Chains A and B, each alone.
Chain A
């Protein structure tokens, strides 16, 4: 590491100040945009390889583990031709299972599927 600054607060000259805990705790710890049709990752943070588990079902490995499986997440997928729901099952601290389903016709591969994860890194 080239240099380290240790501070409890960051202060801007005009825009106010912020505890650095908000920077650490308030930052996304993982996000990914998945091409569910090709089963590839378009872009991501803290996500390693993607495994295609089947239609609308993917596993995404994390680079850095979370401290707990109880993390907040949001996921969105592309609409197709019916009424949709999105589901994500973060089954552990080191990997995730991302599933995309349609209410009336089951799992679907879609492009793109995006997700955001907020919580504590290990």
Chain B
């Protein structure tokens, strides 16, 4: 087994561009672009708390069913992609609201906001898990 020991990886031609070979060997992809830039599993119920996370400095409780993850390192823009879900604790349909002014769920480069609804009412969930993909600043 070969081991590369390093505290940082940096592209030679461009510092922010390191390619990795695909599993099948037919393609290369940029390492940085494929990495999640933030992920967080948190409890939105009661006193909000982070269960586990990466690049999530803190949470802000904006009210029932309104979560906010504050990034440690900011994104380069607010148009990043995202994925995730929150648990259903009350039955019925669980709805995630992202990037909607009416529901106070507008993202920015420094924070990821999500509102959680069950039916048409806000709902705090014990298990909220989301990841962010895009460009760090």
Interface, chain A (partner B; CB < 8 A): 1-3, 5-14, 17, 20, 23-25, 27-29, 31-33, 42-46, 64-65, 67, 74-76, 78-79, 82-85, 103, 111-112, 114-116, 120-122
Known: A9-B4, A11-B3, A28-B34. A45 touches B26 (CB 8 A): no
- Chain B residues near A5 (CB, 8 Å)? 4
Query: Total A-B residue pairs with C-beta atoms closer than 8 Å?
Result: 147
Most interface-central of A6, A64, A120, A121 (chain B CB within 10 A): A121
- Chain A residues near B119 (CB, 8 Å)? 83
Contact present for A7 and B3 (CB under 8 Å): yes
Interface, chain B (partner A; CB < 8 A): 1-7, 9, 11-13, 19-24, 26-31, 33-36, 77, 79-85, 92-93, 95-100, 103, 115, 117, 119-120, 131, 133-135
Contact present for A28 and B5 (CB under 8 Å): no
- Chain A residues near B81 (CB, 8 Å)? 31-33, 42-44, 112, 114-116
- Chain B residues near A75 (CB, 8 Å)? 83
Known: A43-B81, A79-B100, A116-B133. A121 touches B23 (CB 8 A): yes
Which residue of the partner chain, among A1, A17, A78, A85, contacts B98 with CB atoms under 8 Å?
A: A78
Contact present for B22 and A122 (CB under 8 Å): yes
- Chain B residues near A103 (CB, 8 Å)? 93
- Chain A residues near B85 (CB, 8 Å)? 74, 76
Contact present for A27 and B35 (CB under 8 Å): yes
B64: min CB distance to chain A, Å: 16
Q: How far is the CA of A16 from the CA of B6 in the complex (A)?
A: 10
Contact present for B1 and A12 (CB under 8 Å): no
Most interface-central of B3, B115, B117 (chain A CB within 10 A): B3
Contact present for A83 and B93 (CB under 8 Å): yes
Which residue of the partner chain, among B6, B93, B120, contacts A12 with CB atoms under 8 Å?
A: B6
Contact present for A9 and B22 (CB under 8 Å): no
Contact present for B135 and A25 (CB under 8 Å): no
A3: min CB distance to chain B, Å: 5
Q: How far is the CA of A29 from the CA of B131 in the complex (A)?
A: 14
A9: min CB distance to chain B, Å: 4
**Which residue of B is nearest A35, CB measured?**
B79
Which residue of the partner chain, among B1, B80, B95, B131, contacts A79 with CB atoms under 8 Å?
A: B95
Contact present for A121 and B29 (CB under 8 Å): yes
Known: A64-B22, A64-B26. A11 touches B4 (CB 8 A): yes
